[in-house]
A and B are shown apart, each in its own frame.
Chain A
Amino acid sequence: MSLSEIATNDMHGEKSAYFDGWKAYDRDPFHPKKNPNGVIQMGLAENQLSFDLIEEWITKHPEASICTPEGISQFKDVAIFQDYHGLAQFREAVANFMGKARGGRVKFDPNRIIMGGGATGANEMIMFCLANPEEAFLVPSPYYPAFDRDMRWRTKVKIFPVECKKSNNFQITKQALEDAYQKAQEQNIKVKGLIITNPSNPLGTTMNRETLKSLVSFINEKNIHLVADEIYAATVFSSPQFVSVAEVMKEVKCNPNLIHIVYSLSKDLGLPGLRVGIVYSYNDDVVSCGRKMSSFGLVSSQTQHLIASMLSDDEFVDNFLAESSKRLGKRHEIFTEGLANVGITCLESNAGLFVWMNLQHLLKDHTPDGEMELWHMIIHDVKLNVSPGSSFHCSEPGWFRVCFANMDEDTVYVALKRIKKFAGNGQKEGEPAKAKRWKNNNALRLSLSSRIYDETVMSPTMIISSPHSPMPRSPLVRART
C-alpha cells in the first residue's frame, strides 16, 4: 500500500532547478586553502558576522547552560519542562528582545508568544490556524521560495502571488492587492489573508510606513488576516528605520484579531540551529490554539533556558543590536560598492543578509530561460551559488539574490574578483560596462579600496550545508574529514 498524497507529491519543492546550485556547491565547495577554486555559497541567508559577541557572552555566563557546574542545579527542572506555554523567562526575554529590535517603539506581551519549530514551523502553524484546505493567502512576489512548502505542503492552503515590479522598486501597491484579490474571487478561491515578509526576503528592503498602513487598511476592509514575517527585523542597517506592523496597528483603524507576527532568532542572532521560531498573535483564539499546536515543534527547554538568560541581559542585547547592525551595514557597503565598480547595480536596500542584484543587462534573452542560462553560467563558470529570481517567483527575469553575511570578508573579495572577471567577459558585444545605479538621485560612489582585489591571506571559511541540500553532508562531517 502506497504512502499518502502529501508524501508523494512534489510540494516540498525540492525537485526544482533551484537546488542545482546547491548540488554544484556540495560537489565542489570553496575553501580558501583546500579548494580555492570551488563554488562559493552565496545562496544561504545566514548571519555569521556577530558570533563572537554571542560566544563571549556565553563564556562569561556559564550559568546560562544547564550543563555547567554553575547551571547544573537547573538541569532537572529544565530537562522535564515540556509545557507548551514555554518557560516564562524565555517568553519575557523574547518579548523584550522583539521590542528592542523595534527601537522600543512597541512593547510585546510575553503571554502572546507561542513557540514554533523555527520560523518554518511557525509559518506552517499559523496557516493551520487561519486557513482551511484550498483557501488562499496572498503573497507579494518575489518571495522566499520555501513559503511554497511551509505554507502549502501539509496545510493544503493555496498561495496567490501579488506581482511586484521593478518599476516602483518592487513595492506592493494597493492596486496590485485589489487586482490579486479580485482575480482570486473570479477563480472562486477564498482568500483568508495576506502574508508579507518585512524586511523583505529577497529584496532586503523595509516596507515604508505608508505602504504598511495601506496594507493594514486593505486587510481590515476585506476582513482577512495579515501575517507579517518579521524574521529580519534586527538586520536593518541603515535608514529608513524599520516599521513593524505592531507599530502601524496603533495608527490605523484595524481589528487586532487579524494581525499576527512570525519571528525567529535564526537571522537576527544568527542561530538557525537552535530552532527558535515564534508566532505572536493579537488574536486570543489563535494564541490559545497555536499554543496547543506548538506541541508539534516546541523549542528545546535547554535552548529556551539559554536564550532566556541571554536576551534578559539588556546590556548585551543593546550592544549586540547596535554592533550587528553596524557590521551588516559595512558588509553590505563593501559588497554593493564592489558590484557597482563593475557595472552591476542592486536594488537599494537597508536590511537583510543579501542584495537583490540586477543582471538584466547580461541576459541574452529577457525570458525565464535566459535567466536560467545566465544562472547556470554563474554557477559553473563564475562558481558562485547565487539564487535566481525565478526561484522567488519574480515576474521579471534577470534578478538574483546574493547573500553576503554567511562568509568572512576575504571570501567576499574573492567573490567580487570573480564577478569582476565575469562582468568583463559577460557583457554583450559593443556595450561598455554601465555603472548605473537604480536611483538617479544618488551619486555613484567609486571608493576604490585596494583590498577589493588584493590576494591577502585567506582566513578559514565556514563551509555551510544548506537545509535543503539533497546531499547528506553536514558541516560537522566536513569539519572532521
Chain B
Amino acid sequence: MLSKKVRLDAHGEDSSYFLGWKEYEKNAYDNVQNPSGIIQMGLAENQLSFHLLEAWLASNQDAARLTKNGESMFRELALFQDYHSLPDFKNVLVEFMAEIRRNKVSFDPRKLVLMAGATSANETLMFCIADPGDAFLLPTPYYPGFDRDLKWRTGVEIVPIHCSSSNGFKVTKFSLEEAYQQAQKLSLNVKGVLITNPSNPLGTTMSHDELDELITFAIAKKIHIISDEIYSGTVFDHPSFISIMEALLDRKLEETELWNRVHVVYSLSKDLGVPGFRVGMIYSNNEALVSAATKMSSFGLISSQTQYLLSKLLSDKEFTRNYMKENRKRLKARREMLVTALRGAGIECLKSNAGLFCWVDMRNLLSSNTFDAEVELWKKILREAGLNVSPGASCHCSEPGWFRICFANMSEETLNVSMQRMKAFVEKTTQQYCRRGGGRVTHQESGSNSRRRSFSNWVLNLCSYDREPYR
C-alpha cells in the first residue's frame, strides 16, 4: 500500500548509531536532576561558542529585529521565496568560506546553491549526478547519516573505500582502486567519490598526497568528486586544511574536465553551531549542475528570516574573525581534555586536528576482535558507564574496536564527569579480563594490520603500557 521506501531500512535508523540516542532520550544526564543519567557523547554538535553569538545579537538589535535603518524588513522577508536565495547572504557566505581556507581559494556566489542543511545538499547532489543504481565510493569510516542522505530516496549505492588503522585510515591509491573494482564486480556504475574533509568520524584533514591521489583517480576514471567540507571551520591544529578546490588549483586544473566534476558541500551547522537553522549549500563550477540544484532547492529552501539574520552576522568581519579564532581555541582545548583523560584511562585516540570528536581506539577492551564484541563493548559503555558513544561499525569501519566520542556538545563539567566514568569503566573492565585468566598480551605496534589479529582474550596491563600514541 505504501512505497518501497517506507518499508525499507535504508533510512538507517535501526542502526546502533540511533539506538544509543533513543536510550539517551529515555534517561538523559542532568547534573542536578539526573546525575546518573546517560551522557550524550554521540552528537557532533558545537556548543562551545554560543556566548559569542548571543553577545553579537545583543549589540546588533537591528538585525535581530529584522529591521534595516529602523525600517521593518518583515514584509519583504515574509514573501521572499526565490530559490536564488538572498544575494547578501550568498555574498557573505562565499567570503566566509574563503576565509576559512585562508583565502587560498575564492568562491563565486553565483555558483553557490543554498538549501535546508547539508542533509539536503548531499541528497540533492546525488539526484543531480547519479541515476538509481549508480554508485559513489566513500572512504570508511564515514558519517552514518550518509546511508540515508545519499541512498534512501535516490536509489544510489555506496561502495566503501576501506581505510585501515595501519596508516591512520588514510585514503590510498590502492584502496581507491580496490573499491572501484569491487563496484565493477557488483555491476555498479561508479559516478564519483565522496569524501568528508575534515573527516567525520576521524577528525583528521586530508593530506596533500591523499587529495592528489584522489584527483588523479578521478581524472583517470572520469568521475565526480564531492567534498563535504562541513567541518572546515573546526580545524584547530596543524596541518592546515586543504580544500579540494585548493588542491585543484595547485595542479592547475581550472581548464580541465575535472573542474566541472568537483563539488563542495558546506553548512553552518558545525562551524557556527546552528544546526537548527538548516543552512546547507552546494558549490560547483558546473553550470548545469548549479542550475538543476537551484531548481531542486525548492524542496528545501532556507527560511528567509534565517537567511537575513545570518547574512547580517557573517557580514560583520570583525565578529567572524574573532569567532573563528575563539572557536578553534576552545575546540582544541576540549580535544586536549578528552585525549588526556582517555590516555589516563589507558585509551589512545587517533591523532586529529579538526572536528567535534575523537576517533578512539578501544580495541584493547574487546573480548574478541569481532564486531559482535564491539557491540557488546558499546552496550557495556552505554549501560555501565552511562555514556552514549558511537561504535565504529555504525560508521562502517572495517576494523572492530574504534569508537567516535564527541567533546563539544556538553559543558566542561559534564566532560569531566564522563571521563571519570570512563576511567572507572576501563579499570573495572580490565580487572574482569585479568580475573578471567589467560596470558597478558601487550598491544601490537600501530603498524600491524589489526585484521590479522586472532586472539580471543585481550588483557591490557596498564602498568607496562608502552604503546606509541597514534599518528
Contact = CB atoms under 8 A, between A and B. Distances in A.
Given A5-B131, A298-B278, A273 B273 contact: no
A296 B127 contact: no
Contacts of B73: 476
A48 B79 contact: yes
Contact of B80 (A54, A118, A474): A474
B344 interface: no
Interface string A248-260: 0000000001000
Contacts, number: 247
Interface string B327-348: 0000000000000000000000
B92 to A, nearest CB: 14
Interface in A282-301: 283, 285-286, 289, 292-293, 295-301
B275 interface: yes
B87 A6 contact: no
B79 A303 contact: no
B210 to A, nearest CB: 22
A68 B275 CA distance: 20
B295 interface: yes
A68 B117 CA distance: 25
Interface in B291-331: 292-293, 295-296, 298-306, 309
Contacts of B223: 1
A165 interface: no
Nearest to B83: A467
Contacts of A297: 116, 120, 299-300
Interface string A62-94: 100101110010011011111000000000000
A475 interface: yes
A82 B76 contact: no
B65 interface: yes
Contacts of A72: 54, 57-58
Given A300-B278, A476-B86, A270 B288 contact: no
Interface stretch (B1-9, B350-358, B429-437, B452-460): B1-9
B291 to A, nearest CB: 8
Contacts of A130: 2-3
A317 interface: no
A65 B300 contact: no
B2 A289 contact: yes
A286 B3 CA distance: 10
A302 B309 contact: yes
Residue among A121, A297, A300, A467 with the most chain B CB within 10 A?
A300
Nearest to A126: B3
A469 B45 CA distance: 37
A347 B435 CA distance: 86
A58 B277 CA distance: 20
Contacts of A128: 3, 5, 153
A472 interface: yes
Contacts of A121: 298-300
Interface in A140-184: 149-150, 153-154
A3 B288 contact: yes
Nearest to B65: A68
B422 interface: no
A274 B64 CA distance: 16
A257 B1 CA distance: 9
Q: Give the interface size class of chain B.
A: 35 or more
A298 B2 contact: no
B65 A67 contact: yes
Interface residues of A, number: 80
Contacts of A467: 81-83, 298
B174 interface: no
Interface string A442-481: 0000000000000000000010111101001011110100
B2 to A, nearest CB: 6
Contacts of B120: 117, 296-297
Given A75-B57, A273-B304, A1 B84 contact: no
B40 to A, nearest CB: 12
B153 A306 contact: no
Contacts of B134: 4
A67 B59 CA distance: 10
Nearest to B272: A79
Interface string B204-235: 00000000000000000011100000000000
B78 A300 contact: no
B129 interface: yes
B228 to A, nearest CB: 16
A4 B286 CA distance: 13
B81 A273 contact: yes
A8 interface: yes
A295 B119 contact: yes
B119 A274 contact: no
23 contacts: A1-B222, A4-B134, A5-B131, A7-B128, A8-B288, A8-B292, A67-B57, A79-B273, A80-B274, A121-B299, A129-B3, A131-B3, A132-B3, A154-B127, A154-B153, A273-B304, A274-B303, A274-B304, A275-B301, A292-B13, A298-B278, A302-B276, A467-B83
Top 10 nearest A-B pairs by Cβ distance?
A301-B276, A67-B64, A273-B304, A297-B300, A117-B300, A300-B303, A7-B292, A273-B80, A82-B275, A289-B6
Given A72-B58, A302-B276, 15 more contacts: A12-B296, A69-B61, A72-B54, A75-B57, A79-B274, A80-B45, A81-B275, A82-B117, A130-B3, A150-B299, A266-B81, A300-B303, A462-B75, A476-B73, A479-B76
